[in-house]
Amino acid sequence: MIDSYLIEKMFNNAPFLDEMATDQGKIYPHWERLAKYYDQIGRERMGQFHEEVGRQLRENGVTYNVYGDPNGMNRPWILDPVPMVFSSDEWEGIEKGLVQRTNLLNLVLSDLYGDQSLIKEGLIPFELVYNHKGFLRQAHNIKLDGDQQLIQYSSDLARGPDGKMWVLHDRTDAPSGAGYTFENRAAMTRVFPELIRENHVRKITSYYQTFKNTLSNLTTNNKENPRIALLSPGPTNETFFEHAYISSFMGFTLAFGEDLTVSDGYVWLKTIKGLEKVDVLIRRVDDVFCDPLEFRSDSHLGVVGLMEAVRQKKVLVINPLGSRVLENPGLMAFLPKLCRHLLGEDLEIPSVATWWCGQPLELSYVFENIESLVIRNIYRGTNNKSVFGGSLSKAELDLLKREIRRNPYLFVGQEMVEFSTTPAWINNSLEARNAVFRSYVVADSENKDYKVMPGGLSRSSPEKGAFLVSNQTGGISKDTWVLGKPKEAGALPVKAISIQPLVRNVLPSRTGERLFWLGRYLERSAYTVRLMRMALLSYNEADEDIHIQENPVLNTLLQTLTAVTGTFPGFSEKSILKNPEPELIALVRDVEKSGSLAYSIQSFLGNAYAVRDRLSLDTWRILDSISEELNKMRLSVTTIQQAYHSLDSMIVKLMAFYGLNIDNMTREPTWHLLNIGRFIESAVNNCTILRGMLSKSFDQESNKELMEDTLRCNESLVTYRYRYRSNLEMNGVLSLLMLHEDNPRALIYQLLEIDQHLRTLPNDGDGELFGAERKKLLEAITKIRLCDIDRLAEAEPATREFLALTAFLDEIVDLLHETSDVVYEKYFSHTGSSYRMMRTAVIPEI
């Protein structure tokens, strides 16, 4: 393997420097052990390791989202089994350069929002700062305690043609990727444990501990026991997995903008117990979206009044609002002079050569060399894409020049750096691919310095000779190894580890609401699958010579299916009954059809994804298999037979989630809210099925089939036969499915379970034994216990309809709706969510 890689490099005139070997094919010392290892295991074994790495990440639910791609949600994270490698000696220089650069940018940030002496002295052009959208005038003279304002810093580095590392981009607003870095390392450690030990790969965990300690040291409110929340844009954000992972891994509360409110100058987290004060907010929301009152009024991601809370120092926001100004690529042109001015040193790691167009000489140079430069806007945004001058036509170049002339201070020209290649596992072989390394630096408040993660997130291009390596453009991630033990300047005193009190995490109302609907959509999906299997089986066995309307069993099943899914008019229309197959297939696979099985399962998965920080790893493995089954269902189900097989597979996976829910989840509000949703939905569907299937009496054989199918839908047929050992009777079926408190499928059992879970939730503190929601539930429980089953099991002689049963079930469903509404108003209403109770429609008369 290695020989073919070296031959390709030496004899095919590879145009780039390589991380592993020289142009003469000599392997660098820090790569020798790895190269020998790859040669020993061979292609087949390496391919197996590649699959194992991918399996580890899939089982851990590691995903990312692609903006603008409807199929880009929750894509599996791709990791190359071949790492990016740095020797100990080289890393020492990189580490020193990153600390210097972070200190420099920290001083620049402090000055821009303070005295602005750098602008006054002409070291930074006025136009470069004040025309950048990341410079927030509202943040002037607002600073954290101490000298360190920039808490987290990240940069993209690449090795240029001269063999030196160059900084391509600075990331100071809300740097991302540290969570993916940890998952990459975890997967590599499981697959290559011996290789990591033999190469003395440095651990990266100290970075996360330093970050957590710094947050605790910086806060001025509740210093002993700070409440730390991570502000995320939400599940559709490209790196939402990382937000959930970091919050869970580090014990932070994952919050969206809707979870937070500002009152009395403080930031509060809306929880099911009331408001909880937030001391530290780690934001993953771009600064201009953080407060719609002071910045972008169209933002739904931030918190109204957040900036005022920051001014009053009642909340600590990391990184500080306004930090994005440092991401201005135009600043790179001035950093060498700023470094000498502020630090009295030369810049250790140079930036990619940059010419800011706001200066006449630089503008002239950019125009003369535009075809060999990358043109960038000084503000990075979705509408400001980088332009490669060499890829434009003459007309396009003229148009770009006119745009630059109108606002020259908004543009920079940068050298197109042909960065180095590194070995990558592509097409079952080692191939050279261009790669970029992202570093991570965090403030160390105890030592008043900055700490660099000994590793990071590297990314390589999937195509040969391509320089687009972001995950949004198909880039492949790589673990980054720093080899050898760190060099120590001398014996340092060992610091005692401070033991902090355990902080019990709270449950935001929005999270509680999502858990509630997770339970509801789980039960809704399961009932839909069971009923649909009955309908498809009956349809396949039906006599083709008898019209469906004349088949009371099939007709009743199909109309009950419409009632349970709420997909009216559905099978209540004669035209659809004449040819039911398209509607049946749509109910299975059409994710756009509200109420269909695919729609319910997608809603179930969507709610699960939004609360992924609350679910266990094993649960995510089951959810991943349900997602895969849903994709198969959507793409491949075109016939009734395929639909039936798909339903068989889906119900098994849904039942696996049931099992994990019972065995793995701790009995906290998370579990109780999920199960309140579950049992409310189960009870409503139970009533709907009883009302739809048993509302009218037909001939003896049809009645028997309908009672059997009703019991099957509730998984109670075997129980009935065991208990009664007699023919099916209406009063026996109703008794088993309504009154038996030891039958998990009985209506009374489900209502009692709801009551048990409601008891665990915080009450209003009004001194009443029963809250409004439990009063509604008690009324329903009492009605069921006092009902006369024999009367409910009697059909009206004239119409042959079970009118008493129908009216009774309608009363129970109404009380369940009212219970659900009270739960919503009490615990979730202040989230402002668009989620509401989707009432199950009543089946029309048959």
Per DSSP, the residues of 644-680 read HHHHHHHHHHHHHHHHHHHHTS-SSHHHHHHHHHHHH
| CA neighbours closer than 13 Å in the CB half-sphere of residue 440 | 23
Can you give the pLDDT at residue 319? 94
Q: Which of 155, 822, 64 is nearest to 516 (CA)?
A: 822
pLDDT above 70: percentage of residues in the chain: 91
Lowest mean pLDDT of 133-137, 154-158, 606-610, name the range.
Answer: 606-610
Place of tokens 């002689």: 797
pLDDT above 90: percentage of residues in the chain: 71
Q: What is the pTM of this model?
A: 0.85
Can you give the pLDDT at residue 14? 62
Residue 414 has pLDDT above 80, yes or no: yes
Q: At CA 141, angle to CA 137 and CA 145, rounded to 5?
A: 135
Helices (H), 566-668: 574-578, 581-589, 597-610, 617-636, 640-663
Q: Which residues contact 701 (CB under 8 A, 6 or more apart)?
A: none
Token code pair at residue 561: 């299916």
- Summarised one tens digit per residue, pLDDT across range 5-28 is 777 766 566 668 899 998 888 999
Average pLDDT (601-626) is 87
- Summarised one tens digit per residue, pLDDT across range 467-491 is 666 665 668 999 999 998 776 544 3
Lowest mean pLDDT of 180-194, 233-247, 274-288, 746-760, name the range.
Answer: 233-247
Place of tokens 């009743």: 556
Residue 492 has pLDDT above 70, yes or no: no
User: Contact at 8 Å (CB) between 511 and 832?
Assistant: no
Q: How far apart are CA 49 and CA 83, in angstroms?
A: 13
Provide the greatest CA pair distance for the chain.
101
- Summarised one tens digit per residue, pLDDT across range 23-55 is 888 999 999 999 999 999 999 999 999 999 998
Average pLDDT (674-685) is 96
Residue 844 has pLDDT above 50, yes or no: no
Q: How far apart are CA 820 and CA 516, in angstroms?
A: 10
Query: For residues 617-655, b (16+ Cβ closer than 10 Å) or e, as one string?
Result: eebbebbbbbbebbeebbeebeeeebbbebbebbbebbe
Give the DSSP letter of residue 287.
Answer: G
Q: How far apart are CA 234 and CA 284, in angstroms?
A: 10
Q: How far apart are CA 351 and CA 208, in angstroms?
A: 27
Report residue 624's pLDDT band, with 50, 70 and 90 as the boundaries.
confident
- Summarised one tens digit per residue, pLDDT across range 211-238 is 999 998 888 777 778 899 999 999 888 8
Can you give the pLDDT at residue 839? 35
Token code pair at residue 621: 């493995």
Q: Which of 509, 561, 532 is nearest to 673 (CA)?
A: 509
| CA neighbours closer than 13 Å in the CB half-sphere of residue 337 | 10
Report residue 770's pLDDT band, with 50, 70 and 90 as the boundaries.
confident
Of all helices (H) and strands (E), which one includes residue 261? Answer: strand 260-263
Average pLDDT (259-278) is 92
Residue 162 has pLDDT above 60, yes or no: yes
Q: Which of 242, 255, 363 is nearest to 315 (CA)?
A: 255
Token code pair at residue 339: 């470094």
Tell me how crowded residue 217 is: count the other CB atoms within 10 A of its CB. Answer: 16
Give the DSSP letter of residue 611.
Answer: T
Can you give the pLDDT at residue 496? 40
Residue 165 has pLDDT above 90, yes or no: yes
What's the Cα-to-Cα distance from 11 to each of 23, 25, 124, 423, 427, rounded to whole Å?
9, 10, 48, 17, 21
Residue 458 has pLDDT above 60, yes or no: yes
Mean pLDDT of the chain: 89
Helical pair 803-823 and 772-786, crossing angle rounded to 10 deg: 160
- Summarised one tens digit per residue, pLDDT across range 48-87 is 999 999 988 887 778 887 655 545 567 788 999 999 999 9
Report residue 837's pLDDT band, with 50, 70 and 90 as the boundaries.
very low
Average pLDDT (132-156) is 95
What is the 3-state composition of the chain as percent helix, strand, coil, each rounded to the nearest 5?
Answer: 50, 15, 35
